[in-house]
A and B are shown apart, each in its own frame.
Chain A
Amino acid sequence: MGQLNLNVDMVWTLVSLLLTLCVFSYVFGDNAFFRFATALFIGAAAGYFAVVILYQVLLPKLIVPLIQGSTLSLVPLVLSGLLLTKLSPRIGRLGNISMAVLVGSGAAIAIGGAALGTIFNQVRATVNSFGATSAGTGTSILESIFLLIGTVAALVYFNFGARQKQGEAPKRSKISSVLAGIGQFFIAVTLGAVFAGVLSAGLTALVERGDFILRSIMSLAGG
């Protein structure tokens, strides 16, 4: 039995190795191996996702309460049935109500989260940085000013409103132009940091895959 489990593990390892190599073959251009690996991956992921939804969403939240006699669960049942009509172009409009519930809730969640979670807290943090550093060193105060200018300037950069004088093209005001230029600098720095992070994450994945390939080869060769 232990030998069988070992062999099964080796098969899975071999599958993983082959799939890894299939994807890496994309470096040499699009090919059938790469397409095979991605097709298999998408199908398996979709199947697993469907199973998870059935077992961890519909069953515990909808079916079990219905079996237990919860009449309130009829509402999501009806809404779910209406939403399923979206699969048909003819009766798809029936699902608009379900979509309205979904989108309405999502919009409210987005409003509440953006307002209370980001806007108020970030603005407050920007303002409070002066209060918190008022008793600190001059470096801290400079840092707070630096943060304030960067935040405001980045926001100004996203404001594309401009005044238009008669006979002239729309143009930002001078202060707005200066702040937008500064904001552009801060945004460039931030995006540079994000890009470096993306590259770092990718390289970490490359290291992890390199290690997996070595280990797999060694394990298959030794096994």
Chain B
Amino acid sequence: MTEKICPVCNRPNISTAKRCWYCQSLLEDEQAEPGMTAEDLAGKEAEVTGSNEVPEWLARVRQRKAIEEMQQTRSLSPESLPPAEESGGQSGNQPDNQEKASREPEKAEASQLPEWLQGLGTPPPSEGVTKSLQMESTPEPENFSWLEKLKSWKARDEEDADTGSEQSEPPAPQPPAAQPTVEGSNEEWLAEFLTPAEESREETPSSDLETRVETPAMPAEIAEEKSLQPGSEKGPEDETYDFSGEEHPPLEEGHPVVTQFLDAEFSGSGSLPQPELPSVPTEEPSDILKEVAPTDNADLDWLTHYQEPEAEEPEEKALPSASQAGTTQPSAPFLGVQPSDWGESIPEPDIEPDFEAPEEEVEPAVLPAWMQGLRPIETKPQPSSVPSEETVREGPLAGIEGALVGANLGAAFEKPAMYTNKVQVTDRQSLRAELLQNLLSEPGEAKNAEEPRRPVRGKWLKRVMSLVMLVIVFAVLILAPGTSLLPVLFPPETANAYRLVNELSSDRPVLIAADFEAGLSGEMGFAAQSMLEHLMLRNIPLAVLSTNSVGSTLMDQMLANSQGLVSSYDASTRVVNFGYLAGASIGMQSLTSDLRTALPYDRNLVQAWTHPVVQNVYSLVDLGALVVVTDDADTGRYWIEQVQPALNGVPLILVTSAQAAPMLQPYYASGQVSAVVSGISGGSAYEQMMKLPGNSSYFFGAYQVLVLAVAALFLVGGLISLVKPAERGSKG
């Protein structure tokens, strides 16, 4: 399907469209062709806009009336009217695009464009262009920055539409085209037409409305950056805009603002020869304007969307010259800008205009809340803070005239938005995470959850239990001391110990490794006491060492206790104590390497190997036996691993705590250990074999009662636990 390119906005339209969908201007086949009269054009436009309902006579009356009113308006202040190009520079940006749609008849004027305008890609000259227009539209080159801006905008549109041809480009010189329209219009429609511009001027004297409306869509940083650039300070007239969204009433005829506008708009034209009005009825453009750009603020909205592409970059490009222009024409933001400087380098806007805005039902200039929130703070009116080109009165630039005045940064800064790196999780996600955590948590972690509940009941239960256990011990020791159910069946490993000790030669010393802590010295005493007595009864020399700092001292005490029962044994001559051997398994290994070097002195720092007990011992194989008294399975294992291979048949006897016995049992099963006596039960069994009741048998009764009590508690607790609902443990 072929597209029609709008000559004004250069955007593609469907082939059946008569008006541009974007700018509502007549498309090419509907527009004035060379040689076409303005009346013909007006008639066609009337058809399009529905003005054909107006009778012809009425149209003529309106046209005439408009001409007369225009003439009256001109006669109000013909001297004060500014040159047309200045007016275009001030307010032309806002109505320009509206006027494009309504001033197709003036396209022909572009044929007489000056050279600078030709460079903008002017359309082919059309007939019917008056000399006066040519004179009016002849500006000084530096005063047409806005045209360059417009040019850049059009060039951008060309790229967007990808259909740009020089023939289809719209006529660039809009301000000259506006002249006849204004002249031919009456004050009423002019007031309506000018209302948006005047309102914006009144509230925010800038003419660069589209830029300001565009600004909210910009990222806040960009807008802030723009505001902080020196060139962005163009004075209150350029920088203050109304974003309140309030609907302003149209200015009435004779309103001072209107008058001021007209004065500013046409002050130049008064001095120029009055161009002959073409035969184009001036009311048609006005009608079109009324239709396309209603007098309410909707047109502002429409315009802002329509001209969004010009919003950002052109202003930035114009900023460097703003200071220069500011000294002479502060109200004209584009003065002093060389078109060739910036017109070619303006980047394309990446925001497409919103074309639904021109619809009349859209609430004009009412910014949504989010957009107001995005609005850069510097776009707020700051009328009094920037004295434009006046002398700077404070700061490092004080006294310098015409210096760019920085923005009021203190007021400009706002508290930055708080961004958090906290993971935003939904309730569902947190629920799943909790579930996963419960699945992965150890059963022991459940204790923490129950801690608040347990202390009350648990503490008392524990106290009662400890008291009951102590009472049992005291009761048995006081009421029935020595009463016990003594073992009848002796474990084979304990029986082996008895047999081995019984077979030992009294010539060879037995090395006793006392590797137990003070905490289990009681149990170790019960286990080892009977064996020590047995060794003493057999008058076997003893050598004591320990890889534990307190072991040798505790063994000394045990030997002393045993010697009290075996008075025939002389410990002072039959016992040598090597004391502490550091390094644990390393020390044990050093015993196998060189026994005499590893233990050079006894614990009194006397030469040990001169002692009669051990003077014939040079290595471990010279020992009668090695008795390891230990409460720790690892220590027992170290002795077995490091020393047993070097014993070469010398028996290794373990006297262990009940807690270490199960883990040392495999070494007895493998034959690495010759015999094992474990715990109070082992000691009691040994006493039974010796038929010499001692401490073990004496305390065994209390121990048995206590064990039975705890076993009963254990059993009852287990049964209750099986009946009660399970806590957070696994069920297999």
Whether the complex brings A and B within 8 Å at their CB atoms is answered yes
Once the chains are docked, how many angstroms separate the CA of A213 from the CA of B670? Answer: 42
User: A22-37 CB contact bits vs B (8 Å, 1 = yes)?
Assistant: 0010011100000000
Within 8 A of A (CB), among B386-414: none
Once the chains are docked, how many angstroms separate the CA of A211 from the CA of B601? Answer: 37
**Are A60 and B699 neighbours in the complex by a CB distance under 8 Å?**
no
Complex interface: chain B residues within 8 A of A196 (CB): 658
Q: Which residue of B lies closest to A129 (CB)?
A: B669
Q: Nearest Cβ in chain B — how far from A122, in angstroms? A: 6
**Are B659 and A27 neighbours in the complex by a CB distance under 8 Å?**
no
Query: Of the 9-residue stretches A91-99, A166-174, A199-207, which lies at the interface with chain B?
Result: A199-207
**Are B703 and A117 neighbours in the complex by a CB distance under 8 Å?**
no
Once the chains are docked, how many angstroms separate the CA of A49 from the CA of B517? Answer: 13
**Are A56 and B579 neighbours in the complex by a CB distance under 8 Å?**
yes
Q: Nearest Cβ in chain A — how far from B581, in angstroms? A: 8
**Are A204 and B549 neighbours in the complex by a CB distance under 8 Å?**
no
Complex interface: chain B residues within 8 A of A193 (CB): 662
Q: Nearest Cβ in chain B — how far from A13, in angstroms? A: 14
Once the chains are docked, how many angstroms separate the CA of A203 from the CA of B640? Answer: 28
Residues A125 and B707 in contact in the complex (CB < 8 Å), given A48-B549, A60-B605: no
Q: Nearest Cβ in chain A — how far from B433, in angstroms? A: 21
**Are B670 and A201 neighbours in the complex by a CB distance under 8 Å?**
no
Query: Of the 9-residue stretches B100-108, B147-155, B158-166, B466-474, which lies at the interface with chain A?
Result: B466-474
Q: Which residue of A lies closest to B700 (CB)?
A: A207
Q: Is A116 an interface residue (CB 8 A)?
A: yes
Residues A29 and B522 in contact in the complex (CB < 8 Å), given A109-B585, A116-B645, A211-B699: no
Within 8 A of B (CB), among A91-115: 105-106, 109-110, 112-114
Complex interface: chain A residues within 8 A of B699 (CB): 204, 207-208, 211
**Are B679 and A117 neighbours in the complex by a CB distance under 8 Å?**
no
Contact among A56, A207, A208 with B603 in the assembled complex (CB-CB below 8 Å): A56
Q: Is A164 an interface residue (CB 8 A)?
A: no
**Are A206 and B706 neighbours in the complex by a CB distance under 8 Å?**
yes
Once the chains are docked, how many angstroms separate the CA of A127 from the CA of B519? Answer: 39
**Are A27 and B473 neighbours in the complex by a CB distance under 8 Å?**
no
Complex interface: chain B residues within 8 A of A49 (CB): 549
Within 8 A of B (CB), among A1-51: 24, 27-29, 45, 48-49
**Are B585 and A110 neighbours in the complex by a CB distance under 8 Å?**
yes
**Are A117 and B523 neighbours in the complex by a CB distance under 8 Å?**
no
The A interface, classified by DSSP as helix, strand, loop or mixed, is: helix
**Are B462 and A27 neighbours in the complex by a CB distance under 8 Å?**
yes
Q: Which residue of A lies closest to B701 (CB)?
A: A207
Q: Is A194 an interface residue (CB 8 A)?
A: yes
Q: Is A81 an interface residue (CB 8 A)?
A: no
**Are A27 and B660 neighbours in the complex by a CB distance under 8 Å?**
no
Complex interface: chain A residues within 8 A of B477 (CB): 207, 210-211, 214
Once the chains are docked, how many angstroms separate the CA of A118 from the CA of B525? Answer: 28
The B interface, classified by DSSP as helix, strand, loop or mixed, is: helix
Once the chains are docked, how many angstroms separate the CA of A45 from the CA of B553? Answer: 13
**Are A106 and B522 neighbours in the complex by a CB distance under 8 Å?**
no
Within 8 A of A (CB), among B473-498: 473-474, 477-478
Q: Is B692 an interface residue (CB 8 A)?
A: no
Q: Is B560 an interface residue (CB 8 A)?
A: no
Once the chains are docked, how many angstroms separate the CA of A52 from the CA of B579? Answer: 9
Residues A109 and B463 in contact in the complex (CB < 8 Å), given A60-B600, A121-B670, A204-B679: no
**Are B463 and A206 neighbours in the complex by a CB distance under 8 Å?**
no
**Are A201 and B469 neighbours in the complex by a CB distance under 8 Å?**
no
**Are A206 and B473 neighbours in the complex by a CB distance under 8 Å?**
yes
Complex interface: chain A residues within 8 A of B462 (CB): 27
Q: Which residue of A lies closest to B578 (CB)?
A: A56
Q: Is A197 an interface residue (CB 8 A)?
A: yes
**Are A214 and B478 neighbours in the complex by a CB distance under 8 Å?**
yes
Q: Which residue of B lies closest to A46 (CB)?
A: B549
**Are B522 and A208 neighbours in the complex by a CB distance under 8 Å?**
yes
Q: Is A57 an interface residue (CB 8 A)?
A: yes
Residues A197 and B586 in contact in the complex (CB < 8 Å), given A56-B603, A113-B642, A204-B526: no
Q: Is A198 an interface residue (CB 8 A)?
A: yes
User: A173-210 CB contact bits vs B (8 Å, 1 = yes)?
Assistant: 00000000000000000100110111111011111111
Contact among B474, B641, B658, B661 with A117 in the assembled complex (CB-CB below 8 Å): B641
**Are A190 and B600 neighbours in the complex by a CB distance under 8 Å?**
no
**Are B600 and A61 neighbours in the complex by a CB distance under 8 Å?**
yes
Complex interface: chain A residues within 8 A of B525 (CB): 208
Q: Is B520 an interface residue (CB 8 A)?
A: yes
Q: Is B702 an interface residue (CB 8 A)?
A: yes
Q: Nearest Cβ in chain A — how far from B564, in angstroms? A: 15
Within 8 A of A (CB), among B502-540: 519-520, 522-523, 525-526
Once the chains are docked, how many angstroms separate the CA of A59 from the CA of B579? Answer: 13
Q: Nearest Cβ in chain B — how far from A108, in angstroms? A: 9
Complex interface: chain B residues within 8 A of A165 (CB): none
User: B233-276 CB contact bits vs A (8 Å, 1 = yes)?
Assistant: 00000000000000000000000000000000000000000000
Residues A200 and B586 in contact in the complex (CB < 8 Å), given A194-B663, A214-B474: no
Q: Nearest Cβ in chain B — how far from A40, in angstroms? A: 14
Q: Nearest Cβ in chain B — how far from A77, in angstroms? A: 16
Q: Which residue of B lies closest to A65 (CB)?
A: B600
Q: Is B631 an interface residue (CB 8 A)?
A: yes
Contact among A55, A61, A106, A122 with B670 in the assembled complex (CB-CB below 8 Å): A122
**Are B589 and A203 neighbours in the complex by a CB distance under 8 Å?**
no
Residues A113 and B549 in contact in the complex (CB < 8 Å), given A52-B580, A197-B660, A201-B631: no
Q: Which residue of B lies closest to A58 (CB)?
A: B582
Q: Which residue of B lies closest to A204 (CB)?
A: B523
Q: Is A53 an interface residue (CB 8 A)?
A: yes
Residues A124 and B658 in contact in the complex (CB < 8 Å), given A109-B586, A204-B703: no
Complex interface: chain B residues within 8 A of A105 (CB): 586
User: A121-139 CB contact bits vs B (8 Å, 1 = yes)?
Assistant: 1101100000000000000
Once the chains are docked, how many angstroms separate the CA of A24 from the CA of B473? Answer: 14
Once the chains are docked, how many angstroms separate the CA of A45 from the CA of B526? Answer: 24
Q: Is B459 an interface residue (CB 8 A)?
A: yes
Once the chains are docked, how many angstroms separate the CA of A124 from the CA of B667? Answer: 12
Q: Nearest Cβ in chain B — how far from A169, in angstroms? A: 14
**Are A109 and B474 neighbours in the complex by a CB distance under 8 Å?**
no
Complex interface: chain A residues within 8 A of B605 (CB): 55, 59-60, 64
Complex interface: chain B residues within 8 A of A55 (CB): 579, 603, 605
**Are B707 and A203 neighbours in the complex by a CB distance under 8 Å?**
yes
Q: Nearest Cβ in chain B — how far from A41, in angstroms? A: 9
List 27 A-B pairs, Cβ < 8 Å. A24-B466, A27-B467, A45-B550, A52-B549, A53-B582, A55-B603, A57-B582, A60-B601, A110-B585, A112-B589, A113-B641, A116-B645, A194-B662, A196-B658, A197-B661, A198-B658, A200-B659, A200-B707, A201-B679, A204-B703, A205-B523, A206-B706, A207-B702, A209-B522, A210-B470, A213-B474, A214-B478
Top 5 A-B residue pairs of the complex, sorted by shortest distance between their CB atoms:
A117-B641, A208-B522, A125-B670, A113-B641, A210-B473
